[in-house]
Chains A and B, each alone.
Chain A
Amino acid sequence: MFGYLIKRLIQMLLVLWVVSVIVFLMMSFTGDPVFMVVPIDATDAEIAQARRLLGLYDSLLVQYWKFITSLVQGDFGRSYVFRQPAMTLILERMPATVEMVLVAMVLAVVVAIPLGVYAGANPNGRLSRIIMSSSLLGISLPGFWVGMVLIYLFAVNWGVFPSSGRGDTAEVFGLRVSLLTWDGWHHIALPAITLSLGTMAILLRMTRAGMMEVSRQDYMKFARAKGATRRDVLYKHGLKNALIPVVTIFGLQLGDLIAFATITETIFSWPGMGKLLIDSIYRADRPVIVVYLMLVALIFVVINFLVDIVYTLIDPRITLK
């Protein structure tokens, strides 16, 4: 177990290092940040001076070394635009994104698993067919389109939900949380629904496929031959087995949600780190982009680690090695 954790930790660091290289190269080959830091009427001498300060005259290797050592020391640079530490900027906006992603994930799971189980257990039922057709829509409709339709219907036409912003928040341990106020719920509803649909559809189809696969297994028939009810067999013997593949993609889906959150946040003007990322890309605000990418990479790595742990809790055949 201890050996496993060490191994995993080294793996995670390796992944983060690779990401840092990619991020660094991407940053080096796109745009010239010097114009972000000098005033419009700067002289050539001032520009050269700024270049020197940013270390842009060094070789790539030296630049990378400076980049990685400051990252490791926790110095993530200051935003060119806000003149504030980039990390602070991101962390300020992260709770809003995390909140939206979590609400979307919970929504997706709560809807997808029961419906998927039902559709898998009654593959020929009329309701199952409706569920499956709807899930196809969920997979194939692009999120930004769904978002705009929802805004049109619920915000513009009926005026039941606001179309943008985060609304009132309550403060807990210094974090601003929407979910503690009615107005916050009101604001998070549309973006969270928009964000969840794709994941919901995928989880639903995975659950259904898992249930159908599991229904054919001998141990299901054997359990019925013991005298268990069809229902018990389905839920006590089938469900857990069916969910193993679902857990596997759970981590990936969570990553997807974080990635797609940038689009959803832009559509709904949700003040999260995804919107900050898009804004920073427009402004070539390098330090913010770097921190965002490194942070998301870290989240990915940690989530996948947690998924592996959950995996071993569900399936005794898998051990941490």
Chain B
Amino acid sequence: MKDAATPVLLEVRDLRTYFHTFSGTVRAVNGVSFEIGQGEVMGLVGESGGGKSVVGFSILGLIDSPGRIEGGEILLEGRDLVTAGEDHLRDVRGREISMVFQDPMTSLNPLHTVGRQMDEVLRLHSDLRADTRHRACVEMLESVGISRAAERLKAYPHQFSGGMRQRVVIAIAMLANPKLIIADEPTTALDVTIQSQILKLMRAQIADKGASMILITHDLAVVSEMADHITVLYCGNVVERGRTRDLIENPAHPYTRGLIDSIPDTSERLDRLNQIPGSVPDIRTLPAGCNFRDRCPRAQALCATEEPVLAPQHNGLMAACHFPLQPGERP
């Protein structure tokens, strides 16, 4: 799905991450595949509970019990992270792949200064001397738009606003020049006015460093501005993926169509009818067939018996649907 010319940075193949809970096995990610080219931004979208965060944590090897990666491969420049040991993963985390969390109010340790939390990354991943590390932290903090950086390094997280904290988190994520940033709903917890500033900042940062990004969000409007490619997740499966423009303008999967139609149009007031009807099913008890069929206006008998698989559609899109939409067609 990346453009043919760009070399692949990360390839996820048939990833399966399950949580073995008391009330049954949660197949949070159940056979997800995608690729990201170097310097590309991939949007990972879908409603809440679709498995987006679990994909992100799986890539970093941060799935804790009762969760487990049950199968698949996560190839970073050809090297599999699923089978890699914890030592290798620790070298990868923060240096090759870093992460930005949803809520900046909780992602920083309240008892450590911002400087110490930034410095930790450099101490973990470099042999730089203390003064060099300090200078790097000051520069990084300035580059995410925080003035009087040297002074601010001595401050504690509670002395920053939410937006400023997210800038700090981004600074920490960028500090060791990672090749890939996984941003998990980086603006969801922020004021609308600050959201676009943070997104601009992230775009500038990765463009500057030539890094790639997985932008996780439930907000298609955000990814359509930022991403080169989009992968749509539903109940732990990829239901559609493709180049941003093709996917937004002519989606093949009715679920994607539903997500696009539910983007609130700034010129109209939010219309309830535009929401996808129904809600995400309980993934512990998914029946046979297509997971989306109960909410799908195009569902037919076949959808209840046979699970659709990802197949090529128009404009190079891939979609898992028995009755995909044609360009211009409405469900």
Contacts and interface: CB of A to CB of B under 8 A. Distances in A.
A is bound by B: yes
A228 B124 contact: yes
A240 B107 contact: no
Given A226-B98, A226-B120, A221 B62 contact: yes
A315 B91 contact: no
Given A225-B62, A225-B94, A218 B103 contact: yes
B160 interface: no
Contacts of B110: 219, 241, 315-317
The SS class assigned to the A binding surface is helix
B111 A314 contact: yes
A12 interface: no
Contact of B93 (A219, A225, A317): A225
B79 interface: no
Contact of B90 (A227, A237, A241, A315): A227
A241 B94 contact: no
A145 interface: no
A224 interface: yes
Nearest to B96: A227
Given A219-B109, A224-B62, A226-B98, A317 B156 contact: yes
B131 to A, nearest CB: 21
A317 B156 CA distance: 8
Contacts of A157: none
B109 A237 contact: yes
Contacts of A237: 109, 112
Contacts of B98: 225-226
A223 interface: yes
A75 B229 CA distance: 85
Contacts, number: 64
B172 interface: yes
Nearest to B111: A240
A59 interface: no
Interface string A209-233: 0000000011101111111110000
B16 interface: no
Contacts of B107: 218-219, 222
B231 to A, nearest CB: 21
Interface in A286-321: 314-317
Given A218-B106, A317-B110, A224 B93 contact: yes
B121 interface: yes
A230 to B, nearest CB: 8
A167 to B, nearest CB: 43
B153 interface: no
Contacts of A316: 110-111, 156, 158
Given A222-B107, A316-B110, A227 B94 contact: yes
Contacts of B112: 237
A227 B91 contact: yes
A211 to B, nearest CB: 14
Contacts of B90: 227-229
A227 B125 contact: yes
Interface in B111-128: 111-112, 120-121, 124-125
Interface of B: 57, 60, 62, 90-95, 98-99, 101, 103, 106-112, 120-121, 124-125, 156, 158, 169, 172
Interface of A: 217-219, 221-229, 237, 240-241, 314-317
Given A218-B103, A221-B101, 14 more contacts: A218-B107, A219-B110, A222-B108, A224-B62, A225-B98, A226-B121, A226-B172, A227-B95, A229-B90, A237-B112, A240-B111, A241-B109, A241-B111, A316-B156
